[in-house]
């Protein structure tokens, strides 16, 4: 099948590469010259495991082409995916400028039947707006060409996007056009050989499903963070609570991890957009308001605990920070908790040395423009001479590092574990002072039997971290 994809960002690039790998002929339209140059030189502009190899393989097989030639791209595909960004506007609503501009491009250049697929995350009613824009462009050309608009939201997890696309747990298709529905079924059939997971529904329901899914995931995390605050007060361990809770098949194990806040390109934006849509319709959403408020509190938690541990001020302190990306498996810094944590530390007068295995550069200069911040080449180098370590992203290599080297590198063996990836008892036995989230009242002190337990002095008089 011939497919066109508008936008070679995260969703568009994964969609184009995976469809091409199933034998489809795919042209990807990208107007950003820098991104297009990277793609046409065999690279990919984002970090996603397996994506670069997949793109190169299908480019070499001539099933995947990248271009900025809009007429060529639109003419190519019977199915045209719109996979452009929908950033949050100032009022929290989704900015549809790129989506509607893509729709206008389709309308200006189409000469035969097209199925225009909204792959971007868009609010309810966007399919109707896309249809209106295309109709307007066709009218301006005095052209009558049949077309259909379909809602087909993506459910890709950064760090596992190829697996998610190739083996989907569900494919949502919002369609009111029988021909378009049949074409979408044919396109996705190779991905559904074991079981038909394609759900056809009306377009409004398809559009709302995406927002509802992300809102539910955010709610689960914020709920666990709220429970973590209770766990600290009563001396319980939220990790043990998580295991007991997740063993209930009605609840399941996913997105039950307490931590220092959620971020990324989807959850924060989509929760805001859903609340904005609801408000415009006169619907109050107090649960989602609480979900956002809890997340903001969690983002401030590590710095608050560092202040409590070392005193009100952190001026002159050196903090090692492990993890910059909002989650492991990606280099995405959008809405990453690390950015707020670093900002708070720098404003307090601390210096920050950070390491992340995927974030080795800072093209947007979100961090390198800040005095007092530096990148480290490896985890131990970041910890060299630091007064404390903060773990912000749960990369696998942080779960079992060289603890002897880490302890020797730190000026004070204090760990603030924002993802609860380390065992408090083990840390104490190794001579570390451990502060987790929801893991009992205060900190887990170093084992008095450890030679390292009293080998260093704190920056200031010790204050036990209060539960939040």
Residues 17-50 have pLDDT tens digits of 999 999 999 999 999 999 999 999 999 999 999 9
Burial class from Cβ neighbours inside 10 Å (0-12, 13-18, 19+) for residue 436 reads: buried
Strand 388-391 to strand 318-322: parallel, antiparallel, or no bridges (unpaired)?
A: parallel
Mean pLDDT across the chain: 92
Per-residue pLDDT at 468 exceeds 70:
no
pLDDT at 194: 87
> What span, in angstroms and rounded, lies between the C-alpha atoms of 348 and 308?
13
Active-site annotation holder among 18, 28, 260, 266:
266
Q: What is the pLDDT of residues 74-102, one digit of tens each?
A: 999 999 999 999 988 888 888 999 999 99
> What span, in angstroms and rounded, lies between the C-alpha atoms of 100 and 69?
18
Q: What is the pLDDT of residues 148-189, one digit of tens each?
A: 999 999 999 999 999 999 999 999 999 999 999 999 999 999
Per-residue pLDDT at 455 exceeds 70:
no
pLDDT at 364: 55
Per-residue pLDDT at 450 exceeds 90:
no
> What span, in angstroms and rounded, lies between the C-alpha atoms of 10 and 94?
17
Strand 114-118 to strand 147-151: parallel, antiparallel, or no bridges (unpaired)?
A: parallel
| Average pLDDT of the residues in 204-229 | 97
- DSSP symbol at 201: E
| Average pLDDT of the residues in 427-454 | 74
Q: What is the pLDDT of residues 106-143, one digit of tens each?
A: 999 999 999 999 999 999 999 999 999 999 999 999 99
Instruction: With cut-offs at 50, 70 and 90, classify the pLDDT of residue 464.
Output: very low
Per-residue pLDDT at 459 exceeds 70:
no
3-state secondary structure of 242: helix
Tell which residue, 136, 163, 15, has the closest CA to residue 84: 15
> What span, in angstroms and rounded, lies between the C-alpha atoms of 59 and 51?
12
> What span, in angstroms and rounded, lies between the C-alpha atoms of 173 and 171?
6
Please say whether the beta carbons of 2 and 25 come within 8 A.
yes
pLDDT at 442: 57
Per-residue pLDDT at 272 exceeds 80:
yes
Tell which residue, 268, 244, 273, 272, has the closest CA to residue 256: 244
Per-residue pLDDT at 467 exceeds 80:
no
pLDDT at 82: 98
Tokens of 94: 């989704």
Q: Is 266 a catalytic residue?
A: yes
Per-residue pLDDT at 311 exceeds 90:
no
């Amino acid at each position: 099948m011939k497919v066109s994809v508008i936008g070679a960002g995260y969703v568009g690039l994964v969609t184009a590469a995976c469809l091409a790998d199933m034998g489809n002929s795919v042209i990807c339209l990208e107007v950003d010259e820098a991104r297009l140059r990277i793609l046409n030189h065999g690279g990919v502009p984002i970090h996603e495991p397996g994506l670069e190899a997949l793109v190169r393989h299908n480019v070499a097989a001539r099933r995947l082409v990248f271009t900025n030639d809009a007429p060529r791209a639109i003419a190519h595909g019977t199915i045209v995916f719109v996979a452009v960004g929908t950033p949050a506007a100032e009022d929290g609503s989704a900015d549809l400028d790129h989506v509607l501009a893509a729709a206008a491009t389709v309308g200006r250049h189409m000469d035969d039947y097209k199925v225009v697929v909204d792959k971007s995350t868009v609010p309810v009613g966007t399919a109707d707006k896309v249809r209106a824009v295309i109709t307007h462009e066709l009218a301006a050309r005095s052209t009558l060409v049949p077309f259909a608009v379909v809602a087909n939201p993506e459910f890709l997890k950064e760090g596992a996007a190829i697996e998610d696309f190739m083996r989907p747990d569900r494919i949502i298709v919002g369609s009111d056009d029988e021909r378009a529905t049949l074409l979408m079924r044919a396109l996705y059939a190779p991905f559904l050989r074991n079981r038909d997971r394609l759900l056809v529904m009306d377009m409004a329901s398809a559009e709302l499903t995406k927002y509802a899914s992300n809102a539910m995931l955010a709610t689960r995390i914020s709920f666990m963070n709220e429970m973590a605050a209770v766990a600290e007060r009563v001396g319980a361990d939220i990790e043990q609570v998580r295991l007991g809770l997740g063993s209930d098949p009605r609840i399941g194990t996913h997105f039950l991890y307490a931590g220092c806040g959620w971020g990324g390109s989807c959850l924060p934006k989509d929760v805001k957009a859903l609340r904005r849509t609801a408000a415009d319709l006169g619907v109050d959403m107090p649960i989602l308001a609480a979900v956002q408020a809890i997340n903001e509190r969690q983002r401030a938690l590590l710095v608050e605990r560092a202040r409590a541990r070392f005193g009100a001020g952190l001026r002159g302190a050196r903090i090692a920070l492990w993890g910059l990306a909002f989650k492991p498996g990606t280099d995405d810094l959008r809405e990453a908790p690390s950015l707020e944590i670093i900002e708070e530390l720098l404003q307090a007068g601390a210096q920050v040395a950070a390491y992340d295995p995927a974030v080795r550069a800072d093209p947007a200069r979100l961090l390198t423009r800040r005095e007092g911040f530096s990148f480290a080449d490896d985890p131990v180098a970041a910890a060299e001479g630091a007064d404390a370590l903060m773990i912000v992203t749960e990369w696998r290599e942080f779960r079992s590092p060289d603890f002897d080297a880490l302890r020797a590198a730190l000026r004070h063996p204090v760990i603030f574990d924002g993802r609860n990836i380390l065992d408090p008892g083990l840390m104490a036995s190794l001579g570390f002072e451990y502060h987790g989230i929801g893991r009992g009242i205060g900190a887990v002190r170093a084992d008095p039997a450890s030679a390292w337990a009293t080998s260093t002095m704190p920056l200031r008089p010790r204050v036990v971290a209060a539960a939040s």
